[in-house]
Amino acid sequence: MLQLILGGARSGKSRLAEKLASDSHLAVTYIATSQPLDGEMNQRVAHHRARRPADWALIEEPLELARVLRESAGAECCVLVDCLTLWLTNLLMLDDAERLAAEREALIDCLAALPGEIIFVSNETGMGVVPLGELTRRYVDEAGWLHQALAERCQRVVLTVAGLPLTLKGPAL
């Protein structure tokens, strides 16, 4: 099953995804897309690490998500990707539109062939004010298009607000 968990900052989306992964009773591989480049991000990463069970495998991959998913997914596995908007940011910061398009297309194209459980976590950014600045507007646009493409292919899509899941598509939680 492919699942997409959306929500704002501190909405509870990662906690929900981690609970779903634990409840799957499968071997879990956690794919972290962040690049902790400053002290604040290092603290966020440490918080996430402390929350995860010690027996979960960890892969840190900021760019080549489709490749890592193809290598990690399996019939008896649950793969949790946290988070797609950090992955998107990493690609946008390369300032290489062709690379962004190729990685996005590779991700979308590999989804149908992935075995096992796959849980994606991403920040919903399209519910606020229109941001100032070209790069920020592009980020919001790209995130929205990515979420739409993933939601179309996922069997379950959940919006998390204040720690509460609202199922938008698929079986209720």
Question: Is residue 171 pLDDT above 80, yes or no?
Answer: yes
User: Taking the complete model, does pTM exceed 0.75, yes or no?
Assistant: yes
Grade residue 37 by pLDDT with cuts at 50, 70 and 90: confident
> 12 falls in which pLDDT band (50, 70, 90)?
very high
**98-117 residue pLDDT tens:** 999 999 999 999 999 999 99
Q: For the chain, give the number of residues.
A: 173
CA–CA separation, 33 vs 17, rounded Å? 15
Residue 130 has pLDDT above 90, yes or no: no
How far apart CA 14 and CA 122 sit, in angstroms, is 9
The gap from C-alpha 9 to its chain's centroid, in whole angstroms, comes to 13
Buried b / exposed e along 146-158 (16+ C-beta atoms within 10 A): bbeebbeebebbb
Confidence at residue 43, expressed as pLDDT on a 0 to 100 scale: 82
Listed by start position, the domains of the chain span 2-169
Question: Is residue 29 scored above 90 in pLDDT?
Answer: yes
Classify residue 29 by burial, with Cβ atoms within 10 Å: 0-12, 13-18, 19+. buried
CB 131 within 8 A of CB 140: yes
Pick the CATH number of 2-169 from 3.40.50.880, 3.40.640.10, 3.20.20.70, 3.40.50.300: 3.40.50.300
Catalytic residues: 48
Q: How confident is the model at residue 97, as a pLDDT?
A: 94
Name the band, by pLDDT with cuts 50, 70 and 90, for residue 129: confident
